[in-house]
Structures are given as structure tokens and as C-alpha cells.
Structure 1
Amino acid sequence: MVKRPILALIHILESFTEWTGKLISWLTLFMVLVVVAVLLLRNVFGFSAIPLQESVTYMHAIVFMLGAAYTLKHHDHVRVDVFYHRFSHRTKALVDMAGFLILLLPVCVFLIIYSLDYVIFNWKIKEGSSQPGGLPYLYMLKTLLLALPITLVIQGTAQFLHNMAYLLGWKALPHGTDEDTEAVPQVTGDQEMKHG
């Protein structure tokens, strides 16, 4: 009875991370185009576009802070892997679950608690750029201090549940295995007719 809701929740959480990660990835292309535009304006036309320059900082922060969960989902973070790759699937699942509970979750909770008052204060005063003519949305940028740990907790929870589902026999493989998407073969109507 509990199996279906948990598997559905895993799918929803991981889909959210995947969707946001792919959306943010397009921002890197736009960021490069803006940097080229800033350089052309400054060096060719002698025009200093402060809002454009600051927008690059905003975009870089968004890519870095909101892309962390996507990176976690695809196991692309740098980590020391001396023993982990030799572990069985079951041991890897247990290590990942413990890592979430002992390391990732406490750090994210700390970041949320530590940043919350600071972000609220910035929203109250509507802090803007210190540069004349700069972007007036610095308080929104600082909200990423909360968005980073929240998105990491979302993805970490998805991975924890995925590994738990594997240990309970609800998933064929633990999270992070290359064959995740191909673990359970889909039987088509033609295949059913052949076996029938």
C-alpha cells in the first residue's frame, strides 16, 4: 500500500530536479551571450552597461546554486572514491542513505537556519546594487542562499527514498546506477503476443 505513493514521490522529486537542471543549463548559454555583449559594448562602443555586467553575476549564481541538486542527482560532484566503487549495490545504497542523514541533511538545515534571517532582512529593505544604475534586485539574488539547501534536500530525499525502495525490493537497482532507467524492461503488446 505504501509502495505506490513512495515510488510516485520519488518520480515527482527527481523530475523536479531534472526539469530545473535542464532549464538552468540554458542559462549558461545566455550568460555567455551576455558576456560577449558586455565586451562588445565596452571595447567597441565605449559603453559600460552596469546592469548587463551585474546580470552575469546573477546568472552565474543561479547556475551554481540551483544547479547543485541536478549535479547531485547525476553524481557529478567531486568526491573521494577510494572504497565506494568496490561496494556492492546494497552497501552503496546504505552508505548513500547514511550520507544523506549524517552529512547532507544537517548541513542543509544549518544553511537554512543560518541564512533565513539574513534573507528576510534583505527582502524587508529591498537591497539593491551598490553601483549607480545597477540592478535593484540583490535581495532576490540572496534568496538563493535558501534555494540551494532546499533543492539539495529535495534531491537528497529522492535519493534516500530511491535507495530505501531498492533495499525493500521495490526498485531493481539503487540510485546512481547507470542502468537506473533501464532496470525494469517495459513489455510491449507485440512482446506479449510472442510470449503468449
Structure 2
Amino acid sequence: MSPQYSGIRGVLAWIDAFAQFTGRWIALLTLLMMLLTCVIVVLRYGFSLGSIALQESVGYLHSAVFLLAMASTLQRDGHVRVDIFYRRFSRAKQAWVNALGSLLFLLPVAGFLLFSSWNYVADAWAVREGSSSAGGLPLVYLLKSLIPLTAVLLALQAIGEVLRGLLVLLQEPQASGEGSSHD
């Protein structure tokens, strides 16, 4: 284990740990979403009661799970990949693909998402945008705030992917990072 790469390994370990931490919290949101869905069904069909706020909360949680889980999913290599050629590549070629893909595609997309969503979210905050449905949640502005947060999380994970690829290309044995499923 070469000490000259300890800084890179340290940053990568922090990014991986952060992605794993957020992934665990997002998993709890999924559990909460399932429980709320069950409550809604029991209230509606068991007691003929309905709540728009409860129904919207499931939608909010669904949005939060999908938006916030993107970076964690990437860290676990769980994203969709058309790997007709990739799976046959050597580890070094895979590292090149991952690092260049993150630099040339993911980071620019994350930057564009952050830039293009900024005014959209700021406008929602300015008026404290709420639901258009009577009895709905008054928190649309918070939901919209997840868009730039997603961009930041994706950019952070993209940096992690570049660092991971760099370590592989430098033939560093700890390139997969502790706790990461990238091998």
C-alpha cells in the first residue's frame, strides 16, 4: 500500500462512506413509504377515509427516494449499464470507462442539472410553494429542493468514481475502496 496515494484513498473513503450513509437513510424512506401506503389503503377501504396529504406524502417520499438514491446506487455499481463490451474489459479499461464517463458525462450533467434547477427551486422557495390540491402538503418547495441536492450528490459521487478509476490505473491495491462493491 503506497503512502503517496493516501490522500486520494482518504477522499475516496469519505465519499464512499457518505454514499453508504445516505443510502441507508434512503432505505428507511422506502420503508416509511411502504408503511404510509398501507395506512392509506386501510383508511380508504377499511374506514372510507381519505387524506390528500397522506397520498401526497407517498409521492414526496417516492420522489425523494429516486432522486437521493442515484448517487448511492452509482457507488454500489447498481445503475443501469449496457455492458456488452464493458464486462469483457480488463479492470484497467473498466477504470478508464468509469473515470472518463464520470468526467465527460456525469459531471457535466450534474452541473447542468444544478444550474438549470436553481431558479426553478429559488422561485418555489420565494413563494413557499405548496400543493395545488386542497388539503395537500404545503411543502412543494422542499420537494423541488431535492433536484439541486441530487446534482450535488451525483457530482460528489462522480468525483469518487474518477478517483477510484485513478487508483486502479495507478495500480493501487485499495482502489475498490473499503465497503465499496466496485472490484
TM-score greater than 0.5 by the shorter chain: yes
TM-score normalised by structure 1 residue count: 0.86
Residue 159 (structure 2) aligns with: 157
- Residues 1:53 and 1:140: Cα distance change in structure 2 (over 3 Å): same
What is the one-letter code of the residue matched to 1:140?
Answer: L
Deviation at 1:2, TM superposition (A): 5.5
8 Å contact from structure 2 (residues 15, 160) kept in 1? yes
Structure 2 residue aligned with 1:13, among 12, 15, 19? 15
Structure 1 residue aligned with 2:150, among 133, 148, 151? 148
Paired residues for 1:9-158 under 5 Å:
9-158=11-160
* 1:44 partner SS: helix
8 Å contact from structure 2 (residues 16, 180) kept in 1? no
Whose Rg is larger? 1
Deviations 1:145-172 (A, max 9, x none): 1111111111111111111122223334
- Residues 1:48 and 1:12: Cα distance change in structure 2 (over 3 Å): same
**RMSD after superposition:** 1.9
TM-score normalised by structure 2 residue count: 0.91
Tell me the distance in 2 between the aligned counterparts of 1:150 and 1:120: 16
| Count, aligned residues | 180
Deviation at 1:179, TM superposition (A): 7.3
What percentage of residue pairs aligned between the two structures are identical? 39
Provide structure 2 residue ranges, at least 5 long, that are not aligned to the other structure: none
Q: Which runs of 4+ in 1 moved over 4 A?
A: 172-180
Provide structure 1 residue ranges, at least 5 long, that are not aligned to the other structure: 181-196
8 Å contact from structure 1 (residues 89, 173) kept in 2? no
Tell me the distance in 2 between the aligned counterparts of 1:106 and 1:58: 27
The higher relative CO (CA closer than 8 Å, separation ≥ 6) is in: 2
